[in-house]
């Protein structure tokens, strides 16, 4: 079936010009499905992940409406409100708007925590066509009387599943209550968990539903490998994998389960001669943005991240994702490996599995509906670990396992990863490289 080209979707000329400048020739599947629905003014519940082009699928219709109005927003006015779970995603969505709207006049405002509120208040006072906000800061500003919801005609919840995971459901409800009922509401979510459909039921009116090539399209483009590894060999395995790819010009993300470990791993890699930054919720917003910019510019080639900080990061040229720790929630596996293989590229995702990670691995296999291929050739492959996990996977097939969602309790919080960060002499690097910037 032919994908309709952007020209046939009925978008305003300045948007088509911006898309041409970006060399987007065809809408992605989510764009082809969502844009006509949104241009008609219908509500939409869309199941799509980052990397599918979902941002443009709501940004283009929102900008299209703005270009049709043809008038600047009045002081205090907000026309489109977009809620995102994280500051990074908010910045990224606002940047996407600037890109797609580069050929037309419009104002985008950004409201998120971790930075001074004064410029945000000034932008709200002036009025914005589009406001991209995280729920917490928006409510803060609202309590201070700086937010006028009364002119909003489009309300978008981006990564709604993540917002629910982060406990924003009441904030969302509170915000939604203020927005006129005669609005268009759009919800994007990577999964369609019951909590999402329940929230959609209260916020959306007679929505169209779209489910775009679920979670596996990205995963299919990513070459995945699993390494069974002994506790004390994790860091050596990491170094050897990075050494093997030292001449590649791509960027790498390493996922670690806690802030503390991300930080420690960054320092460890620096000592080993690798320039690496870590990004996590414990850093100020400005520091996080600086680190992200350095990574985007290729000045830092390795980023160590926790799940929350990495969600939504859209950086081109990430060739390698390493799961130093398996994610506690299986769906994050897909989000993590989706950091590579952006916009149709291919990528490599390498995951470490220790003897006690059977439950986590089992959940991932269940979620992606296949097994991650095991790399048994590597010198750090550990047969004993493989056997132990193999026995676990065989036991009670089909259950969620001890490492599943049940393990998210306090028992695991802040636990050291297996083996800590012991170094192996054979991989110590003597080349001094550029300096480590961790904040």
Q: Which residues bind ligand AMP (CB under 6 A)?
A: 24, 26-28, 31, 50-56, 314, 342-343
In the complex, the smallest distance separating the C-beta of residue 369 from ligand AMP, rounded to whole angstroms, is 22
User: CB-wise, 27 or 355, nearer to ligand AMP?
Assistant: 27
The residue among 93 and 164 lying less far from ligand AMP, judged by its C-beta, is 93
66 or 92: CB nearest ligand AMP: 92
Cα distances (angstroms) measured from residue 124 to each of 78, 91, 133, 145, 154 = 8, 16, 11, 11, 17
* Residue among 26 and 244 whose Cβ is closer to ligand AMP: 26
Nearer to ligand AMP, 26 or 384 (CB): 26
CB of 221 to ligand AMP, least distance (A): 13
Q: What Cα–Cα distance (Å) separates residue 300 from each residue in 1, 241, 270, 430, 435?
A: 42, 17, 11, 19, 10
Q: Residues 46, 52, 58, CA angle at the centre, nearest 5°?
A: 50
198 Cβ contact list (under 8 Å, min separation 6): none
Q: For residues 306 and 259, give the distance between their C-alpha atoms in angstroms, rounded to a whole number.
A: 6
Compute the chain's Rg from CA coordinates: 22
* Closest approach of ligand AMP to the CB of residue 262, in Å: 23
Q: How far is the CB of 370 from ligand AMP (least distance, A)?
A: 23
Choose between 112 and 342: whose C-beta lies nearer to ligand AMP.
Answer: 342
3-state class of 299 per DSSP? coil
Rank residues 51 and 354 by Cβ distance to ligand AMP and give the closer one: 51
SS3 1: coil
The single-letter DSSP state of residue 7 is G
**Alpha-helical runs (H) found in 224-345:** 234-244, 259-271, 285-296, 307-310, 330-337
Minimum distance, C-beta of residue 356 to ligand AMP, in the bound complex (Å): 34
Q: How far is CA 136 from CA 43, 143, 153, 274, in A?
A: 24, 11, 21, 36
404 token code pair: 């599943």
* Rounded Cα distance, 109 and 103, in Å: 17
Complete DSSP assignment for 406-432: GGGSGGGTTPPPTTTT---GGG-----
CB 27, min distance to ligand AMP, A: 5
Please identify which residue in the block is written with the tokens 């002036």.
126
SS3 of residue 224 by DSSP:
strand
Nearer to ligand AMP, 56 or 164 (CB): 56
Q: How far is the CB of 146 from ligand AMP (least distance, A)?
A: 29
Cβ nearer to ligand AMP, comparing 26 with 376: 26
Q: Would you state the structure tokens that stand for residue 59, as one six-digit string? A: 């940004």
Find where tokens 């405002």 sit. 109
Per this entry, what is the length of the chain? 439
Nearer to ligand AMP, 7 or 412 (CB): 7
Shortest distance, position 31 Cβ to ligand AMP, whole Å: 6
At its nearest, how many Å lie between ligand AMP and the CB of residue 418? 33
Smallest distance from ligand AMP to CB 344, Å: 7
Give the C-alpha separation, 338 to 336, whole Å.
5
């Amino acid at each position: 079936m032919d994908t309709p080209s952007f020209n046939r979707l009925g978008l305003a000329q300045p948007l088509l010009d911006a898309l041409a400048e970006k060399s987007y020739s065809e809408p992605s599947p989510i764009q082809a499905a969502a844009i006509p629905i949104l241009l008609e003014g219908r509500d939409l519940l869309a199941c799509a992940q980052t990397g599918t082009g979902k941002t443009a699928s709501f940004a283009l219709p929102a900008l299209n409406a703005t270009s049709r109005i043809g008038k600047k927003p009045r002081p205090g006015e907000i026309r489109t409100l977009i809620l995102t779970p994280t500051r990074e995603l908010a910045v990224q969505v606002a940047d996407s708007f600037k890109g797609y709207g580069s050929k037309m006049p419009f104002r985008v405002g950004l409201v998120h925590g971790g930075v001074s509120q004064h410029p945000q208040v000034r932008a709200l006072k002036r009025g914005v066509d589009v406001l991209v906000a995280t729920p917490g800061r928006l409510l803060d500003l609202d309590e201070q009387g700086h937010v006028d919801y009364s002119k909003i005609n489009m309300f978008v919840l981006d990564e709604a599943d993540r917002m629910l995971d982060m406990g924003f459901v009441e904030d969302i409800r509170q915000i939604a209550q203020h927005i006129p009922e005669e609005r268009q509401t759009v919800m994007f979510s990577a999964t369609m968990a019951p909590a999402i459909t329940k929230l959609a039921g209260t916020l959306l009116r007679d929505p169209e539903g779209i489910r775009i090539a679920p979670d596996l399209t990205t995963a299919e483009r990513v070459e995945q490998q699993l390494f069974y590894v002994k506790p004390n060999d994790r860091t050596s395995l990491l170094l050897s994998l990075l050494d093997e790819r030292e001449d590649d010009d791509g960027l790498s993300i390493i996922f670690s389960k806690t802030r503390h470990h991300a930080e420690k791993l960054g320092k460890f890699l620096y000592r080993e001669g690798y320039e690496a930054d870590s990004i996590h919720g414990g850093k100020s917003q400005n520091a996080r943005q600086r680190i992200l910019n350095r990574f985007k510019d290729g000045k830092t080639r390795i980023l160590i991240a926790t799940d929350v900080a990495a969600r939504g990061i859209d950086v081109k040229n990430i060739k390698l994702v390493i799961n130093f720790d398996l994610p506690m929630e299986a769906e994050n596996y897909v989000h993590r490996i989706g950091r590579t293989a952006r916009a149709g590229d291919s990528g490599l995702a390498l995951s470490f599995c220790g003897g006690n990670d059977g439950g986590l691995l089992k959940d991932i296999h269940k979620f992606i509906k296949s097994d991650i291929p095991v790399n048994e050739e590597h010198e750090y492959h550990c047969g004993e670990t493989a056997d132990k996990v193999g026995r676990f996977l065989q036991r009670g097939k089909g259950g969620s396992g001890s490492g599943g969602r049940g393990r998210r309790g306090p028992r695991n919080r802040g636990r050291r990863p297996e083996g800590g960060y012991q170094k192996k002499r054979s991989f110590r690097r003597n080349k001094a490289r550029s300096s480590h910037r961790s904040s």
